[in-house]
Structure 1
C-alpha cells in the first residue's frame, strides 16, 4: 500500500511509524501506509517527537517549526504536517521527497 499524502491549505499531512531508541536516525521504508522512521531519541518527555520533527525538517530542508505532529503524540503511529503555504515548486518538491522515502 503506497503512502497517502493529504493536501491541506497550509501544508501536507502523512503518516509515520516511529521506532525510538534505534542505533541511528533514518527512514526505514514503509510500515503499511506509513513511513517507518527510526530515531535514536527515547520516547520520554516528548524527546522522540522533537527529534522526529528536527529529523524530517532537516531531510526536507525546511525550518524545524514547519514540521508538526498533528496526532499520535504519545504513540508510535503519528500523523505529521509539513507546513508549506505555496501550491508551487516547494510543495511539489516536498511531496516528491516523501514519496522517494517510501521506495527504500
Structure 2
C-alpha cells in the first residue's frame, strides 16, 4: 500500500465500495486500502461515511481525516492530520494486510 508521510500528516489511497451489505475497512486493492460503506454515492453520503469509517477504525477524530482528491471516484486520496505518523502507518499496513 502506498503511504506518503509528511511532517504533520499522512496521505494514502482508499478504494471505496459504496452500498455494501456490510461496512468494513481492511484489505487492499491496487495499492489502496479497501473501505466498504453502506451509504450510496449520492450527494457526498459515501464520502462522509468513508471519513467516519477511517476515523473510527484508526481511533482518530473525524476532523483529522480528509478526502483530498477523488470525491466522485471510487479511488480517493485521504489525508490524516495531527497523528503519530509511525503508529498510524503501522495500523494502515495491518489493515491493508487484512483480507
Check whether TM > 0.5.
Answer: yes
Q: Please give the alpha-carbon distance, in whole angstroms, between the structure 1 residues aligned to 2:38 and 2:30.
A: 22
**What residue in structure 1 maps to residue 38 of structure 2?**
40
Partner of residue 93 from structure 1, selected from 80, 87, 91: 87
**What residue in structure 2 maps to residue 26 of structure 1?**
24
Kindly tell me the number of residue pairs found equivalent between the two proteins: 98
Q: Please give the alpha-carbon distance, in whole angstroms, between the structure 1 residues aligned to 2:82 and 2:22.
A: 28
| Per-residue deviation, 1:92 | 1.5
Paired residues for 1:52-71 under 5 Å: 52-71=50-69
Unaligned runs of 5+ in 1: none
Unaligned runs of 5+ in 2: none
Q: Secondary structure at the match of 1:44?
A: coil
Q: Secondary structure at the match of 1:56?
A: helix
Relative to the length of structure 1, the TM-score reads 0.89
Relative to the length of structure 2, the TM-score reads 0.93
Q: Please give the alpha-carbon distance, in whole angstroms, between the structure 1 residues aligned to 2:14 and 2:40.
A: 16
Q: Please give the alpha-carbon distance, in whole angstroms, between the structure 2 residues aligned to 1:84 and 1:64.
A: 11
**What residue in structure 1 maps to residue 14 of structure 2?**
16
Q: Secondary structure at the match of 2:16?
A: strand
Go from structure 1 to structure 2 and tell me whether the alpha carbon gap of 1:28 and 1:7 turns closer, same or farther (over 3 Å shift). Answer: closer
Q: Please give the alpha-carbon distance, in whole angstroms, between the structure 2 residues aligned to 1:78 and 1:11.
A: 16
